[in-house]
Amino acid sequence: MEDVYILAIETSCDETSMAIVKNGKFVDSLTILTQMDTHANFGGVVPEIASRMHAENITMVLEETLNKSHVTMEEISAIAVTYAPGLLGSLLVGLECAKVLSYVYNKPLIKVNHTLGHIFANNLENDIVYPSLALVVSGGHTDLVLLNSEFDMEVLGSSLDDAIGEVYDKVARVLKMPYPGGPNIEKKALLGSPTYDMPILMNDDSYNFSFSGLKSYIINLVHNETQRNNEIRINDLACSFQKTAVDELCRKVDLALTKNQVKNMILAGGVSANQYLRKEIAKVCKKYNVLLHVPDIIYCTDNGAMIGAAAYPLYKAHIFADYKINAKSSETIKKYIEQNDK
Ligand code: KG4
Ligand code: ZN
């Protein structure tokens, strides 16, 4: 079969990114332009600013991606784009760019769910071995997904409230660390010990998660201690929070591995860059003799390459989108799977 080159576009949040991915696996060219420094001034992503910056930068990102690539626009097999979930205005910039490229160059258009992209980032480094269990941990989602094959998936559980990355960011914010908080909490936690008492999270046997209680507990603790002029041991608090959150993720992964025979465990999403999480999940996988795959750090946070990887099975199956597709800000992976099951 001829090599397939997919030009993939990702603009769901605060990264304008494009990649050219060969056969869903080899990254021929990748550009990631992050807006992080701008949003850091506001303590989080400002949607209006994000979409304006995507509009300003997307053509330059396209130019750079093509300049770095071995193939020309004419040799591209298809255009893939994140259409959901994410910030509406941001998604629309990438989506319109993809539609225009598809129309002008007469290439098929492939729509990709962002969360699925995070999962398929694991195919860039290794081959996902089925059946596989994926833990998606990002700023917007916390999901446990059972993958029976490229097209047969089941969401075992999800966060009932805040996503784990969002909680990292909120805890960091109350501790006056810059956005994005996740990497900063991780650094501080390395210097501390888990000496703060933390609440018990969902004490149940479902695969769902709930982190909002932990978030509120820490915010209240910081406010109360500040009012009383008591010292807050930031490193210890970061360490206590991280341990509690990661213990809960591990507990649910452990439960899922007890009940489902899988060959492969996959970590996906921005929080999977966290070394402590990687180490603790590795321990659980060892217990069940399950092979653990984690994406390279650059493919953990938002990037176009993961969208190219997720688009490849759709290309092979000739599942193409028409020009009527619109951005969907809140399409969960569960909704995506249910719609595509029909
Ligand atoms: O996947 P991603 O880039 O964007 C979304 O789709 O949400 O994830 C971003 C999230 C942020 O909440 C960020 O704080 C978190 O990933 N994150 C981390 C680390 N690196 C990024 N959280 C914990 N430890 C890290 N090292
Ligand atoms: Zn993401």
> CA 326, CA 329: separation in Å to the nearest integer?
10
Q: What DSSP string runs through 97-158?
A: HHHHHHHHHT--EEEEEHHHHHHHGGGTTSPPPSSEEEEEE-SS-EEEEEESSSS-EEEEEE
Tell how far CA 287 is from the center of its chain: 26
Instruction: Tell me the ligand closest to 164's alpha carbon.
Output: 1
Intervals of the chain under pLDDT 70:
341-342
> CA 87, CA 331: separation in Å to the nearest integer?
11
What sign has the CA pseudo-torsion 171, 177, 183, 185?
Answer: negative
| pLDDT on residue 202 | 82
Site to probe by mutation for ligand 1, drawn from 35, 118, 136, 138 as the one with most ligand atoms within 8 Å of Cβ, is 138
| pLDDT on residue 340 | 83
Tell how far CA 233 is from the center of its chain: 30
Q: Which of 62, 175, 252, 10 has the alpha carbon at shortest distance from 167?
A: 175
Phi, psi of 136 (to 5 degrees): -100, 115
| pLDDT on residue 150 | 93
Question: Directed axis angle between helix 181-190 and helix 275-288, to 10°?
Answer: 80
Q: Say if ligand 1 is within 6 A of residue 86 CB.
A: no
Residues of the chain with CATH 3.30.420.40: 5-120+299-341, 128-294
What is the residue whose two structure tokens read 């010990």? 193
Q: Is the peptide bond before 183 cis (omega within 30 degrees of 0)?
A: no
CATH of segment(s) 5-120+299-341:
3.30.420.40
Q: What is the per-residue pLDDT across 182-236, written as a single tens digit (0 to 9) for each?
A: 999 999 999 999 999 999 998 788 999 999 999 999 999 999 999 999 999 999 9
Half-sphere exposure for 144 (CA within 13 Å, toward CB): 20
Q: Say if ligand 1 is within 6 A of residue 168 CB.
A: yes
Average pLDDT across the chain, whole number: 96
> CA 209, CA 147: separation in Å to the nearest integer?
19
Contact 87, 45 (CB under 8 A): yes
What is the residue whose two structure tokens read 């050219």? 20
| pLDDT on residue 300 | 95
Q: Say if ligand 1 is within 6 A of residue 139 CB.
A: yes
pTM of the model: 0.95
CATH of segment(s) 128-294:
3.30.420.40
Q: Say if ligand 1 is within 6 A of residue 277 CB.
A: no
